[in-house]
Amino acid sequence: MCRLFGVVSRHVEPHPEPLATAPKSLAALSPEHPHGWGIAAHDGKSWAIHKSPTCAHADPAFRAVASNARGRVVLAHVRKATVGKTGLDNTHPFRRDAWVFAHNGTISDVAWLERRTSQSRKREIAGDTDSERFFAFLMTTLDEVGATHGSRRASSDATHHAIARAIEAATDRPRFGAVNFLLSDGDVLYAHRFGRSLFVSSDADVVRIASEVPHEGAWQEVPERSLLCIDRIAAFAPDVQGCALRRGADSYKLISPHRLRFAQSMPRGPGLCPGPGRGADSPSSGPG
């Protein structure tokens, strides 16, 4: 089991409290998740990624990075190893092209993933974790719709559809395992919950995602089998900050590819990622 933290903010800024100083910051949680840490920050132009196969709480480098990493999108992870040895190759977040990925949970059906992963993505796998193999599976899906480096840029709808279909196909399998993850290309942050806790909080300037609530605030639990997506540009556009941000987490669109009905309190509106082609109050479709 691991712990995740993600943030999308209006401005390029550091986020030291949930990473290092809050009562349940990643640093505070890391003695129980001591097998590595990683922080990826995107400033609107490129990723800066720092990671180490050490316990964050005991590593001065973690404190330094957590205090100074500046980004409009940030993904962070502390690892408790269940599959794969302790080492840099197995330390999250992983990066491929513009995409960065961190995972919490244990996947049992790795063979199913490998059968659906392209040879080119398999060759990129450097470690021996189930997490990196799930990322390779997702990257294969993104390749197919043109959402990766060197390919035709996919529309946002195509990207959302592809991610939703891939998740549904995997997690609908019996005893597939737990798949909480954060995934971002620096423009959109996806947060998926399946099998582990996940919470969301937002205000006019920041949206935060966490495995455990790091500090006081208006946190809400993300429903099981849900995919939350936040567009870093549209979410903070001047014309939506009054209607889409001040209402808190309920204003963000939950995409559920798993037959979950969207709550009435989660309206579709400006700045929100579109769902997989269905209305906000309709059950999502089955496998694509």
List, as one string, the DSSP characters of 51-67: EESS-GGG-HHHHHHHH
* 280 vs 59: which has the higher pLDDT: 59
Bridge partner residues of 200 (DSSP): 209, 220
Q: How far apart are CA 179 and CA 171, in angstroms?
A: 8
pLDDT, one tens digit per residue, over 15-71 is: 999 999 999 999 999 999 999 999 999 999 999 999 999 999 999 999 999 999 999
Cis previous bond, 93, omega within 30? yes
pLDDT, one tens digit per residue, over 99-136 is: 999 999 999 999 999 999 999 999 999 999 999 999 99
**Tokens found for residue 96:** 């491929």
pLDDT, one tens digit per residue, over 141-165 is: 999 999 987 555 667 778 888 898 9
Where do we find the tokens 């940030």?
Answer: 74
Amino acid letter, residue 55: C
Q: How far apart are CA 24 and CA 261, in angstroms?
A: 31
Sign of the torsion formed by the C-alpha atoms of 238, 242, 248 and 253:
negative
**The pLDDT value given to residue 194:** 92
CA distance to 2, 3, 90, per residue, from 33 (Å): 6, 8, 14
Class of domain 3-255: alpha beta
Going from N- to C-terminal start, the domains of the chain cover 3-255
pTM, two decimals, is 0.83
